[in-house]
Structures are given as structure tokens and as C-alpha cells.
Amino acid sequence: MPTAEKYLRPEVIQTVARLDLRARFIVEGFLSGLHASPFHGFSVEFSEHRRYTQGDDLKDLDWGVYARTDRYYIRKYQAETNITGFLLMDLSESMAYTYRQELTKFEYSICLAAALSYLMIHQQDPVGLITFGEKIQHSIPAHSRRTQLSSILATLASVRPAGPTEVALNLRRVAAMVRHRSLLMLFSDLLTDPDEVIQSLHLLRHAGHDVILFHVLDEAEVSFPFEGMVDLEDPETGESMLLDARGMRSDYQEAVAELREKYRKECQAAQVDYVPLDTSMPFDRALLEYLAQRKARF
């Protein structure tokens, strides 16, 4: 029985925590798109304004900002500056797969989720958890208290990926569940119809949420290191296929690359962050490369 602590990898936490969390991690990195100032260079206004939307109280309009920018902004108060995050974890049976790596896709995802939860709670941003297979299985409300990380990891350590999944359908359910603008961090191998998933990602964005899609594949699902005749079985449907690995490798790798590129382009169009990962990538590299990617965009 794995313990929750095993997923809170010290090397990940130490590497990322060495950053100045407020100055580097938020402003330049992972959360910069949410906290960033609408006035480039006006760091004093970093977390004090947001764009006016219909229904906002007009008494909170900042006319000084309007005079400088010709745009309407609402004064933000301290309570509004916190980001609420939700970890969305795919519990499909395929997430339990590993070929030759230490961790399954699910365990790898838990380690990433642990690091991100730690960082959000450390900076007093509430974070919650939603797990799903064919339906929503667990829902932990977002909190920023120190015990929240233990609650999240204990839940993830107690479940086993099993059965099929409905990624797109459950993303639509999440859209109905999470009413306030939040940061939604999805961990999945996305072994399902990409068009339906992409439609649901657009729905989440339309609802005002910020979305990060961590596309987690096993190292063997990317490199296809098999030799000879191999019998590949779909863990969720039980269907199997006997094929010549050497003859299939090039076509298979091309198909995976095309799938990732499809997600990359569609997510870019939807303003969703797409992070392709495989289980051979060290955690610090996986997170810090993503931080650098966010920094380059803002």
C-alpha cells in the first residue's frame, strides 16, 4: 500500500521551491498568466485590477486606469487575488500502465500534482481535487490550509486506476461543478477521442477557467521500444492486436507525434496550456521546462 508521502518527491519540491515563489514562480512562471498585470511594467498594480466584465459593480471601476489605457478595469481586493486550483485526475485503467519505468502514468501524475499542490498551498492559493473514470469519483473542495495537501495525497494514494474513462464528458461535468473562475490542471493520457476532449476544453475556457493539460504518456508509448512480434492489448476494452514491432515503429511514432501536434495547435487556439510529458522525464525537468515555457509567453 503506497503512502501519501512517497508522492511528495523531495527532489521536485526542493528544485522548484528554490525559486522565489512570489517573484519568480508566480510572476515569471507557472501562474503568470493569471496574476500578471494588465499594464506591462506597472508592477505596483500587479494584483490590484482585473478587466471589467458585465455584472461588475460600477462603483469599483478605476477611472484613473481608464484615463491612461482607455479600458475599463475593476479594483481588485486582496480576497480576489488568490487563485483557486483544481487537480483533475484521470483514473482510467490505462493510467496504471508502465513498461520499464519506475512509476506508472498515474503515479507520475500524482508526483507532479503533489509538487503543484505544495506550491499553491505554500503561497496560500486554495487547491482541490476531482478524480474521474466514467464518472466523477472524488471531489475535494479547494482549501489553502496546510492539511489540504495530506488530504489530496491520501485520496490519490488510496485509489487504483480501473475501467474506462470519459474525459470529455467529465470535463463538462467539472464545468457545471466549478462555478468560480479557477485554474484547472488536467492529468490524463488522453487515450480517447481528441475532438471531444478539445470541445470540452473550449467549454471550460468559455466558462472563464484557465486550463493546463498535462498529457502524460508512458515512455514506451512514445518511443515504442518493442522488438519482434508483440501482442498489444487495450487495457480498457480488452481488445488485442498482434503486430511486427519493427515494421510498425515508424508509423506508430508518427501517429503519436501527430496526436501531440493536434493537441498543441488546438490548445494554443483555445488558450489552453498543453504540456506533453512521458514517464522517463525527470520531474524537475518536466516542471521547470514548463515554467520556462510560461515565462516565454508573458
Cell of 224: 515504442
Number of domains in the chain: 2
Most confident of the ranges 92-96, 142-146, 287-291: 92-96
Structural domain includes residue 70: yes
Least confident residue range of 44-53, 272-281, 286-295: 44-53
Residues 184 and 41 placed together within one structural domain of the fold: no
pLDDT of residue 157: 84
Residues 259 and 275 placed together within one structural domain of the fold: yes
Looking at residue 93, what DSSP letter applies? Answer: G
pLDDT of residue 24: 36
Most confident of the ranges 83-87, 200-204, 229-233: 200-204
Residues 202 and 260 placed together within one structural domain of the fold: yes
The CA distance from 214 to 108, in Å, is: 11
Q: What is the mean pLDDT of the chain?
A: 78
The CA distance from 158 to 180, in Å, is: 28
Structural domain includes residue 25: no
Give the pLDDT band (50/70/90) at residue 61: confident
Structural domain includes residue 246: yes
Residues 120 and 188 placed together within one structural domain of the fold: yes
pLDDT of residue 21: 35
Q: Residue 220 maps to which CATH number?
A: 3.40.50.410
Is the pLDDT at 259 greater than 60, yes or no? yes
Most confident of the ranges 10-24, 72-86, 113-127, 284-298: 113-127
In the chain, DSSP assigns E strands to 49-51, 73-75, 85-90, 127-132, 136-143, 183-188, 210-217, 229-233, 240-244, 273-278
pLDDT of residue 225: 85
Residues 148 and 220 placed together within one structural domain of the fold: yes
- Tell me the C-alpha to C-alpha distance, in Å, between residue 198 and each of 201, 207, 262, 290: 5, 14, 10, 21
Residues 186 and 52 placed together within one structural domain of the fold: no
pLDDT of residue 5: 59
Closest C-alpha among 170, 160, 174, 255 to residue 217? 255
Mean pLDDT within 228-254? 74
Closest C-alpha among 138, 129, 145 to residue 186? 129
In 49-92, DSSP assigns E strands to 49-51, 73-75, 85-90
Residues 243 and 262 placed together within one structural domain of the fold: yes
Structural domain includes residue 265: yes
pLDDT of residue 66: 72
Structural domain includes residue 27: no
The CA distance from 156 to 63, in Å, is: 47
CB atoms under 10 Å from CB of 158, counted, come to 11
Residues 181 and 217 placed together within one structural domain of the fold: yes
Structural domain includes residue 109: yes
Residues 136 and 229 placed together within one structural domain of the fold: yes
Q: Which domain holds residue 16?
A: 4-20+83-297
Residues 189 and 51 placed together within one structural domain of the fold: no
Structural domain includes residue 252: yes
CB atoms under 10 Å from CB of 47, counted, come to 20
Cell of 155: 485520496
The CA distance from 28 to 166, in Å, is: 34
pLDDT of residue 290: 66
pLDDT of residue 295: 53
Give the pLDDT band (50/70/90) at residue 118: confident
Give the pLDDT band (50/70/90) at residue 292: low
pLDDT of residue 10: 61
The CA distance from 275 to 239, in Å, is: 29
pLDDT of residue 36: 40
pLDDT of residue 105: 95
Residues 64 and 117 placed together within one structural domain of the fold: no
Structural domain includes residue 283: yes
* pLDDT > 90 fraction of the chain, expressed in percent and rounded: 41
Mean pLDDT within 105-110? 92
The CA distance from 267 to 103, in Å, is: 27
Residues 149 and 57 placed together within one structural domain of the fold: no
Mean pLDDT within 183-209? 95
